[in-house]
Each structure stands twice: as C-alpha cells, then as structure tokens.
C-alpha cells in the first residue's frame, strides 16, 4: 500500500469515526421545535465550519460543490477572468450558498476587497425553528437546522425571523412554493460520515469542518499567534447566541457586509415568551394555515387524479 493511500484511508477513517461520534450512532434524530432549548447540554460538539476570510480566493468552487451535492440547478459561472471578479450572486431557494466580493476599510483605513461566503449560519438556538408554526424547520439532534417541504405551509415566518436574512422563498412556485436554505449537507453527506461538500471542495483551506469547540480553540490560536493577520473577533461565537458557522478575518466584519446589529443573546426564548402569551392566537394561526394547506394539497391531488383518469380514458 502506498504511503499516501494509507494516509488518505486513515484520514477517511478518522473523519468517519468523528462524524459517527457526533451522531451518537443514531443518525439525524429530529427534535420538536419547542424542545430546542431543552436539548444538548453543551454546543461544544456541534458540527461546525470555520471560514478564514483571509484564505478565500473567491473561486466559487464551494458554490458549485453545494449545488452538485444537493441536486440544485448548477449555473455557477466560473468563467470570469480571475477568481473574485464575479458578478454578485444572491441566496435563493435553489442556491444555498454564495461567495461575493465585499469592499471596505481595513484597520489601517485602506480600502480592500475580500471574498465572503454566505449560507445559513446554523444558529445554536435558531429563531427560524422557534417561529415555525408547523414544525417544518427543525433542529436535528446532531445540530444542523433541517427543513421539511412536506410540512411547510408557506407562511414565511422563518424568513421574517432569521437574523441573517437566510431562508429564501420560491416566489414562482405559487401556493406550493418551498423554502430553500443550507442544511449543512446533513442528509446528503454528514449522515454518511462525509464532510459538507463546500468544505471538502475548497482548494485553499478557507473552510475547515470540525467540532465547534475545536474550531473555536483553533481560531483563538490563529488570532493569538498571528495578531498582524487577524482582528480579535470570531464572528458567530456570540452572534445570535452562537452559530455553527464561524468566521475569522483581517478586516472588521461590519466593514465587509457582516451584520453588526445581531443580538448576542439567543432569540428563541423571546419568541417563545411572546408566543406563550398568545397561545390561542398561535394555535389558531397554525390551525388556519394547516387547514388552508391541507385543502390546497387535497385539491391538487384531486386535480392530478382527474388529469390522469382523463388521459387514460383518451388512450
């Protein structure tokens, strides 16, 4: 066996064992939305990604890998003259991550451009989950926030509640439109012991996957040993009560488009406090939306059945 092959297989084995350990061998069990606060005594083990903005060259390989891994239409334009010169892209229901150039002042007051990868931040205590009246947004036991199109009634509360403006609605989808957002490759890759596609595809090591506590430890070490390279801020350590996506940068985050007005305390308790004061209204809304969605689904099923019977009759 070649040395490199052995190294690769050992690495693969360790990676699988790590992910199996994270999953506790139970797969991606899903908690009810209202039990988010009660679960997981510590978020230290949450599968996370450390994004080092100083290492990102804006090649957008991660965007392409995300689409391929999640069966999303891949029209990523990789034909620009040099990485980082792309036209800006937006998150969409069928585009779960984007990398865009952002220009702002560094700590010396010089105007610089950095490439910023954006996706669902995988909040440790997600507001999108806490506001969803039908449990279509759920936090898996492993950590990633999952979305179920089967349950979704299209109320778009999650869109309004997300502090990072992440979930996107399929506006052309009519009454049966769906929401789209990064689910950290939970179904497609993490469950099989594989890395998120974006992290695996990055050619520069700008994306590093691991346990949240290990990544925080590494991020602090990088800041300490290279103070000339990094500002002393890990974005996502505290924002929105903490997120699984963590960022390091040499430019103040607020200067390159990161939201600086995000609360540093978890928001779901506030949501639940409000909802608990209006349980009848919350229940009624969920019931109303559920009934509307159920009748529309039923009507669509009946229409499909009629169309299929008419086709059979004409044959």
Please state the separation of Cα 54 from the chain's center in Å: 21
Q: Please give the C-alpha separations between residue 114 and each of 107, 166, 172, 237, 249, in angstroms, as whole numbers.
A: 14, 20, 33, 21, 9
Contact predicate 135/32, CB 8 Å: yes
The Cα angle at residue 307 between residues 304 and 311, in degrees rounded to 5: 140
Per CB under 6 A, contacts with ligand SF4 among 30-49 are none
Per CB under 6 A, contacts with ligand SF4 among 45-84 are 56-62, 65-66, 69-70
Query: How many chain residues interact with ligand SF4 (CB under 6 A)?
Result: 42
Q: Which residue lies nearer to ligand SF4 by CB, 6 or 39?
A: 39
CB of residue 65 to ligand SF4, shortest distance in Å? 6
Q: Which residue lies nearer to ligand SF4 by CB, 208 or 233?
A: 208
CB of residue 3 to ligand SF4, shortest distance in Å? 27
The interface region with ligand SF4, picked from 16-24, 176-184, 219-227, 280-288 by CB under 6 A, is 176-184
Q: Which residue lies nearer to ligand SF4 by CB, 46 or 115?
A: 115
Compute the distance between CA of residue 94 and CA of residue 169 in angstroms, rounded to an integer.
9
CB of residue 157 to ligand SF4, shortest distance in Å? 11
Q: Does 255 bind ligand SF4 (CB under 6 A)?
A: no
The interface region with ligand SF4, picked from 4-12, 24-32, 177-185, 307-315 by CB under 6 A, is 177-185
The interface region with ligand SF4, picked from 31-39, 163-171, 269-277, 281-289 by CB under 6 A, is 163-171
> What's the first-to-final CA gap in the chain, in angstroms?
61
Contacts within 8 Å (CB) and 24+ apart, 11-15: 15/193, 15/194, 15/195
Q: Does 97 bind ligand SF4 (CB under 6 A)?
A: yes
CB of residue 264 to ligand SF4, shortest distance in Å? 14
Q: Which residue lies nearer to ligand SF4 by CB, 70 or 140?
A: 70
Contact predicate 181/167, CB 8 Å: yes
Per CB under 6 A, contacts with ligand SF4 among 180-199 are 181-185, 196-198
Compute the distance between CA of residue 256 and CA of residue 83 in angstroms, rounded to an integer.
18
Q: Positive or negative CA dihedral for 126, 131, 135, 136?
A: negative
CB of residue 119 to ligand SF4, shortest distance in Å? 4
Q: What is the DSSP letter of 187?
A: T
- In 3D space, the residue among 235, 228, 271 whose CA is nearest the CA of residue 253 turns out to be 235
Q: Please give the C-alpha separations between residue 314 and each of 268, 284, 300, 310, in angstroms, as whole numbers.
A: 55, 45, 21, 6
CB of residue 238 to ligand SF4, shortest distance in Å? 14
> Applying CB under 6 A, which residues contact ligand SF4?
56-62, 65-66, 69-70, 96-97, 99, 115, 117, 119-123, 126-128, 145, 162, 164, 166-167, 181-185, 196-198, 201-202, 204, 206-207
């Amino acid at each position: 066996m070649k040395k490199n092959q052995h190294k690769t297989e050992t690495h693969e084995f360790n990676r699988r064992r790590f992910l199996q350990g994270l999953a506790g061998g139970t797969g991606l069990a899903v908690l009810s939305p209202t039990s988010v606060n009660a679960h997981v005594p510590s978020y230290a083990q949450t599968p996370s990604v450390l994004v080092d903005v100083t290492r990102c060259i804006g090649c957008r390989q991660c965007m392409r890998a995300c689409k391929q891994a999640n069966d999303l239409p891949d029209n990523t334009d990789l034909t620009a003259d040099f990485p980082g010169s792309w036209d800006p892209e937006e998150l969409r229901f069928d585009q779960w991550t984007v990398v865009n150039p952002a220009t702002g002042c560094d700590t010396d007051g010089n105007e610089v451009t950095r490439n910023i990868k954006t996706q669902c931040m995988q909040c440790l205590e997600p507001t999108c989950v806490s506001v969803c009246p039908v449990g279509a947004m759920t936090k898996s036991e492993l950590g990633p926030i999952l979305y179920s199109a089967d349950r979704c009634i299209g109320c778009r509360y999650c869109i309004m509640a997300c502090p990072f403006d992440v979930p996107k609605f399929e506006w052309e989808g009519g009454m049966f439109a769906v929401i789209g957002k990064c689910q950290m490759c939970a179904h497609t890759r993490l469950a099989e012991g594989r890395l998120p596609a974006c992290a695996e595809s990055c050619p520069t090591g700008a994306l590093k996957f691991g346990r949240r506590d290990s990544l925080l430890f590494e991020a602090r070490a990088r800041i300490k040993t290279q103070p000339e390279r990094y500002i002393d801020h890990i974005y996502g350590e505290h924002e929105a009560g903490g997120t699984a996506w963590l960022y390091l940068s040499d430019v103040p985050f607020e200067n390159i488009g990161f939201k600086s007005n995000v609360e540093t305390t978890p928001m779901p308790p506030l949501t639940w406090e409000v909802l608990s004061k209006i349980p009848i209204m919350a229940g009624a809304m969920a019931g109303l939306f559920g009934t509307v969605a159920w009748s529309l689904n039923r009507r669509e099923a009946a229409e499909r059945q009629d169309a299929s019977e008419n086709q059979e009759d004409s044959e």
